[in-house]
A = this chain, B = another copy of it.
Amino acid sequence: MAIKFEVLHECKQTRARVGRLTTPHGVINTPVFMPVGTQATVKAVAPRDLYDMGAEIILSNTYHLYLRPGHDLVQEAGGLHKFMNWNGSVLTDSGGFQVFSLSSLNKISEEGVWFRSHLDGSKHFFSPERAIEVENTLGADIIMAFDECTPYPCEHSYAREAMGRTHRWAARCKQAHKQPETQALFGIIQGSTFADLRQESAKHLVDLDFPGYGIGGLSTGEPKPLMYDMLEVTVPLIPKEKPRYLMGVGSPDCLVEGTIRGVDMFDCVLPTRVARNGTAFTSQGRVVIRNATYARDFSPLDPNCSCYACQNFTRAYLRHLIKTNEILGFHLLSIHNLHYLIHVMQGLRQAIWEDCTLDYVRSVLASYDSEPYNVDGCRP
């Protein structure tokens, strides 16, 4: 088996748990936030910065790497880890999400999807077999099944149809996977925002017995309470001993809300994307550093943060960098936001061990002007 997952402690207050996920590239402490390195680089951040902040696993995108530089080239470089010189673990998505959201003119059939590159309009075909072949070539520690990700909102009938296809594709992915000893293939639960479909999808995929499960098709524009509802009907159906990965989620409030509903893994471009736009997540809430109020603020971005940006620079300086479009500003804010989320998860793990998860969750949410949504649904 490519991975080993151990649940080390279960929260007495919520469905949260602390776990240890071991891959061929090391140990990942869960619940974990995975920085996203779409094009084989976490935007504006170097591997040494990722080590510094305690990142143990990052995500990269099959669709993007397939188009540029090409998965064959990555293979020639010795695989994705070597290509980008990242010695931690890597997870690749299957390209499913991008094929449906980024590319144009996609044509879906039972066999797979024809799509046009968002870069040059060239025509490509991804089937479950092809996606897994590309993922096998890239060589990540965890690879995701090729699924159909429905947009929000979506009719029940279409969600059911797409879910059925995702299930049949999941079986084909499993069949096509050539390296189960070094790469763990996760199935992806779909079903849009319909509780009955989510439950059906979870049961179906659990029967296929994957080493871990992605929860896909959420964080696509639906209200957050609806996403939490879907987690509450889905997560309890996934065997306790399997890691659960909520795809595309990464705001501080969603990370803690997901964790108390039993999610182990998260990823999102949010922290690096908003950083490049001048927004920081801090222990005191969101800081929009462009705002004039910070022009003469010579205090650190987050007084409770130990990252390079907070230890060395002031809000006034960071504001100047962002206002003048300086790359150093993007670099420093990206480092800070990732550091912050990784340390929120660290604090969360500690709180779970100490069985005071809800107190910690409330302290995070207090900074983000929200209270835990319907805590009842998080009970173990």
Interface residues of A (CB under 8 A from B): 39-48, 68-69, 73, 76-78, 83-85, 295-296, 298, 308, 312-314, 316-317, 319-321, 323-324, 326-332
Q: Which of A40, A46, A329 has the most CB of B within 10 A?
A: A46
Q: Which of A40, A320, A326 has the most CB of B within 10 A?
A: A320
User: Quick one: which of B69, B76, B317, B327 contacts A43, CB cutoff 8 A?
Assistant: B327
Q: In the docked arrangement, what's the CA distance between A39 and B42, Å?
A: 25
User: Quick one: which of B85, B320, B324 contacts A313, CB cutoff 8 A?
Assistant: B85
CB neighbours of A47 from chain B (8 A): 312
* A28: min CB distance to chain B, Å: 22
CB neighbours of A329 from chain B (8 A): 41
Q: 4 more A-B contacts (CB under 8 A) besides A41-B329, A83-B320?
A: A39-B324, A42-B328, A44-B327, A76-B296
* A309: min CB distance to chain B, Å: 9
CB neighbours of A308 from chain B (8 A): 46, 48
User: Quick one: which of B68, B69, B295, B328 contacts A73, CB cutoff 8 A?
Assistant: B295
CB neighbours of A320 from chain B (8 A): 39-40, 68-69, 73, 83
CB neighbours of A43 from chain B (8 A): 326-328
Contact B328 A68 (CB under 8 A): no
Q: Which of A41, A314, A323 has the most CB of B within 10 A?
A: A41
The residue on B at minimum CB distance from A46 is B328
Q: In the docked arrangement, what's the CA distance between A73 and B42, Å?
A: 33
CB neighbours of A323 from chain B (8 A): 68-69
Contact B73 A296 (CB under 8 A): yes
Q: In the docked arrangement, what's the CA distance between A324 and B73, Å?
A: 15
CB neighbours of A69 from chain B (8 A): 295, 316, 319-320, 323
* A320: min CB distance to chain B, Å: 5
Q: A46-B331, A317-B83, A317-B85 are in contact. Are A326 and B296 (CB under 8 A)?
A: no
Q: In the docked arrangement, what's the CA distance between A77 and B314, Å?
A: 9
